[in-house]
Amino acid sequence: MISKDVKYIGVNDHKIDLFEGQYEVPNGMAYNSYLIVDEKIAVMDSVDGAFGEEWLSKIEAELSGRAPDYLVVQHMEPDHSANIDTFAKRYPEAVIVSTDKAFSMMKKFFGTDYAERRIVVKEGDSLSLGRHTLTFYTAPMVHWPEVVMTYDSEDGVLFSADAFGKFGALDVEEEWACEARRYYFGIVGKYGAQVQAVLKKLGGLDIKAICSLHGPVLKENLGYYLDLYNTWSSYGVESEGVVICYTSVYGNTKKAVEALEKGLKTAGCKKVAVNDLARCDMAEAVEDAFRYGKMVLATTTYNGDIFPFMREFIHELLERGYKNREIGIIENGSWAPTAARLIKKMFENSREITFAENTVTINSAVSEENLEQIKRLAEEIV
């Protein structure tokens, strides 16, 4: 229960088959839905298609014979919208509330836009349930174009759609920030400017709880969560430290990375995060790249290009608007090292990216000269 009138009716998924394997979700996923019980009853979003009956059973158990008056649809991604039509058939008198763009999507998903039983809302519109008044704030591209957030002024609850969400089911206890950060930069990260715009819109509200479509209800120390979202969406630096991301074919580039890690710590760097891109969770490496203000990319030249895992990693950063960072480079090539030049070219259209003056070039194995170069790179970065 979020408050006397606001109830949780979401579900946990431990057999998740979303994202086409792009994101590892060892602790499952929560699909959140909420119920506001007043003179009128509003259901806030539905859940993934695999959990329709469980969700409807929770609604019935909470209402003890009453029927919902509204289904508010904030986001049309199928893990939240799949049961709209099932709900509409179960409760034929209920009205669907959403944005015009969302109703256009419903037509595509379900073959109907519910023209005879809908309320189309836009920025600043309100819906009274009795004591509770819901006000709608559009949030386009956070992270789909139809998204709307809803504020309940009676209890100070912000229903935030996918914003402030995280990976992980609610029956597993874990730190919020780690999986919320990975979720943000994986799912929402490209749309920092749009998140900033929504945060500014919501800035004057008296928010006492944040109810996302994924993850726990946030009630305590809300400034912490809001500040992190502001940092992430403005591409600011969350933590002091250096992330090293590397690929190594025969272990020589890895030896250089180990020397650099030692050199950074000797030079006074308190936090060094190291990711082997061929073996780590790529989403974790992306998360680290955005968390820290400094990054070193170490990779081999491969077929006259950058090693594939490194190239893919850089693409992951670029499509999320990576900026406002310092990058150091270690390249390796037995006869024609070109990785450093190609890495810089990949970032040439990125904003506020600076490269360390000391680039380390390895010809096959790490030499004494390379170790001296690595020492200078470490000192420059720190």
Enclosing H/E stretch for 330 = strand 325-332
Instruction: Choose between 42 and 305: higher pLDDT.
Output: 42
Is the model's pLDDT at 250 over the cut of 70? Answer: yes
- 314 pLDDT band, cuts 50/70/90, is very high
What is the pLDDT at residue 19?
A: 60
Q: How does strand 353-355 pair with strand 325-332?
A: parallel
Given 2.60.40.10, 3.30.930.10, 3.30.450.90, 3.40.50.360, which CATH number is that of 239-381?
3.40.50.360
- Residue 292 three-state SS: strand
Encode pLDDT of 348-364 as tens digits.
999 899 999 999 999 99
Mean pLDDT over 70-98 rounds to 97
Q: Are 253 and 260 in contact (CB under 8 A)?
A: no
pLDDT of residue 319: 94
Identify the pLDDT of residue 21: 62
186-207: average pLDDT: 94
Classified as helix, coil or strand, 60 is: helix
Query: Could you tell me the fold of the domain covering 6-233?
Result: Metallo-beta-lactamase; Chain A (3.60.15)
Residues 6+ apart with CB under 8 A from 306: 299, 314, 339, 342, 343, 346
**Beta-ladder partners of 325:** 353
Give the per-residue pLDDT at 15.
87
- CA–CA separation, 292 and 288 (whole Å): 6
Q: Quick one: average pLDDT of 293-298?
A: 97
| CB neighbours of residue 268 within 10 Å | 9
Is pLDDT of 22 > 80? no
Q: Pick the range with the lowest mean pLDDT from 16-25, 94-103, 151-160.
A: 16-25
User: DSSP secondary structure string, 115-128?
Assistant: TTSEEE--TT-EEE
Q: What are phi and psi of 236, to 5 degrees?
A: -80, 170
The pLDDT tens digits of the residues spanning 142-189 come to: 999 999 999 999 999 999 999 999 999 999 999 999 999 999 999 999
* Range 207-217 average pLDDT: 97
- Can you tell me the distance from the alpha carbon of 120 to that of 114, in angstroms, rounded to the nearest whole number? 11
Average confidence (pLDDT) over 196-220? 96
pLDDT at res. 16: 79
Helix (H) or strand (E) holding 272: strand 272-276
Q: Where are the domains of the chain?
A: 6-233, 239-381
Average pLDDT, stretch 8-15? 95
Asked if the model's pLDDT at residue 20 lies above 80, the reply is: no
**Percent helix, strand and coil across the chain, each to the nearest 5:** 35, 25, 40
Mean pLDDT of the chain: 95
Residue 375 CB partners (closer than 8 Å, separation 6+): 263
- For residue 58, the model assigns a pLDDT of 97
127-133, Cβ contacts within 8 angstroms, sequence gap of 24 or more: 127/42, 127/70, 127/72, 127/97, 128/40, 129/36, 129/38, 129/39, 129/40, 129/41, 129/42, 129/69, 129/70, 130/38, 130/39, 130/40, 131/5, 131/38, 131/39, 132/5, 132/36, 132/38, 132/42
User: Cβ(118)–Cβ(103) under 8 Å?
Assistant: yes
Kindly state the average pLDDT of the residues 58-73: 96
Share of the chain above pLDDT 90, in %: 93
- The DSSP-derived string for 247-266 is --SSSHHHHHHHHHHHHHHH
- Mean pLDDT, residues 98-120: 97
Which of these ranges, 19-33, 125-139, 191-205, 227-241, has the smallest mean pLDDT? Answer: 19-33
Q: What is the C-alpha separation between 310 and 249, in angstroms, rounded?
A: 12
Per-residue confidence (pLDDT) for residue 107, from 0 to 100? 97
pLDDT at 336 over 90: no
For position 85, what pLDDT does the model report? Answer: 97
Higher-scoring residue by pLDDT: 15, 369: 369
Q: With beta carbons less than 8 A apart as the criterion, state whether 260 and 374 touch.
A: yes
Closest CA to 152 of 63, 217, 89: 217
